[in-house]
Amino acid sequence: MFQKKENRPFLIAGPCSAESEEQVLATARGLKDLGIDLFRSGVWKPRTRPGAFEGNGTMALPWLRLVKQETGLKTTIEVANGNQVYEALKHGVDVLWVGARSTVNPFSVQEIADALKGVDIPVLVKNPVNPDLDLWIGAIERIRNAGVTNIGAIHRGFSSYAKSKFRNAPYWEIPIELRRRMPELPLICDNSHICGNREDLLEVAQQALDLNYDGLMTEVHPTPDAAWSDAKQQITPFVYAELVASLIVRRETTDNAEFLENIENLRHKIDEIDLELLNLLSRRMRVAEDIGRYKLRNNIAILQAVRWNEILEKGFVQGRQRGLNDEFIEKFLAAVHNESITHQQAVMHPAVEKEV
Ligand code: PEP
Ligand code: MN
């Protein structure tokens, strides 16, 4: 159900929270003609600190039924426990989603899964707040084991203590790895909760489409500045329409023979370079082992902080000259350096190596 269409992503839009019948209907009316696939709204809101608006709860569910009756839009809400699943089903909600703060907790996910047994309603599972792919996959498996056949994943970014322009760091490598491990699973980007602001919404949405995501979930509110939750990241239906119109949807593949031949040649070059890289890395590890033996003979410690800093600093300078960014250089050299240490440890403690 959540797969992208020929030239358009699967679109989920609606307010962060259902504040009143008027606000919910005004948003839905604004979105009706834009061809969205699903109307979202939070009914029970998991707020970080007490005292904030925690949602209107069950009282808001009839408003979503009105949305369906008046606009024909299907609806989706977040559920965080068995009772909320029961209430949502009773009020005819079409799709449920598991929020980031629930995915993180297998007890909650299992309770939701148990409440879904025998009810094959589509379910979307947001990534957990922490960057843990197995926890995300585990939640998807629990929902699937309950007999739900229509499941999708929502990437909404990850909490991080580090300061960043994002509210929730995207760590794109995590959804990319999810795609590799579950290639059939539809993947949707919640650009609103990744960004936490309005300015970067289009950039993040386009990044997701460039990575072949199936859809987008975006928070839309008739008067965003006055929203009772997540005011900074919500946009009006008009701005949302502009965002959707600016998106470029890439094709997955083509049968153009010239393209296929050229891409084949380029991929061949990449394969050759990858092989060269592996040969170089292998040579580097042999030298690291020589160093390990030499240090052993002279009783010298493996880790030399000054030398490691020197490698890194030189790497940054030389990397920049070659168009490589510092973040990548740091990750790459740290991985290589760690592996060199492992090789040196192996020559210093051959017995330990043999035991494992
Ligand atoms: C939401 O979508 O309104 C929400 C609370 O999201 P998340 O679970 O991603 O924080
Ligand atoms: Mn929100």
Distance from Cα 60 to the centre of ligand 2, integer Å = 16
Contact status, residue 207 vs residue 197, Cβ threshold 8 Å: no
pLDDT at 351: 64
Digit-coded pLDDT (tens) for 159-202: 988 888 999 999 999 999 999 999 999 999 999 999 999 999 99
323 Rama class: left (phi>0) / alpha (psi -120 to 50) / beta: left
Q: Is 40 in the pocket of ligand 1 (CB under 6 A)?
A: no
**Nearest ligand, CA 126:** 1
Which tokens belong to 196?
A: 């936490």
Rounded to whole angstroms, what are the CA distances from 148 to 92, 94, 247, 297, 338?
17, 13, 31, 62, 43
Q: Closest-lying ligand to the alpha carbon of 227?
A: 2
Query: Sign of dihedral through CA atoms 308, 313, 318, 320?
Result: positive
Instruction: Evaluate: CB of 80 within 6 angstroms of ligand 1.
Output: no
Exposed, middle or buried: residue 94 (CB in 10 Å: 0-12, 13-18, 19+)? Answer: middle
Least Cα distance to 136 among 106, 171, 97, 95 occurs for 106
Q: Which atom of ligand 1 is nearest to the CA of 154?
A: 9
Give the C-alpha separation, 107 to 92, whole Å.
Answer: 25
Q: Is 76 left (phi over 0), alpha (psi -120 to 50) or beta?
A: beta
Instruction: Give nearest CA residue, ligand 1 atom 6.
Output: 99
pLDDT of residue 239: 98
Pocket test for ligand 1, best of 126, 166, 232 (most atoms within 8 A of CB): 126
Ranges of residues in the chain whose predicted pLDDT is under 50: 355-356
The structural domains of the chain, ordered by start, are 10-246 (3.20.20.70), 257-355 (1.20.59.10)
Residues across the chain: 356
Residues 175 and 149: beta-carbon distance below 8 Å:
no
Whole-prediction pTM value?
0.84
Whose CA is closest to atom 3 on ligand 1? Answer: 16
To the nearest 5 percent, what fractions of the chain are helix, strand and coil? Answer: 55, 10, 35
What end-to-end distance do the CA atoms of the chain give, in Å? 47
Q: Is 125 in the pocket of ligand 1 (CB under 6 A)?
A: no
Ligand 1 contact via 42 beta carbon (within 6 Å):
yes
- Choose one of 124, 156, 192, 204 to mutate for the ligand 1 pocket test, by most ligand atoms within 8 angstroms of C-beta: 156
CA–CA separation, 348 and 172 (whole Å): 38
Alpha carbon of 44 to those of 58, 149, 309: distances in Å? 8, 25, 50
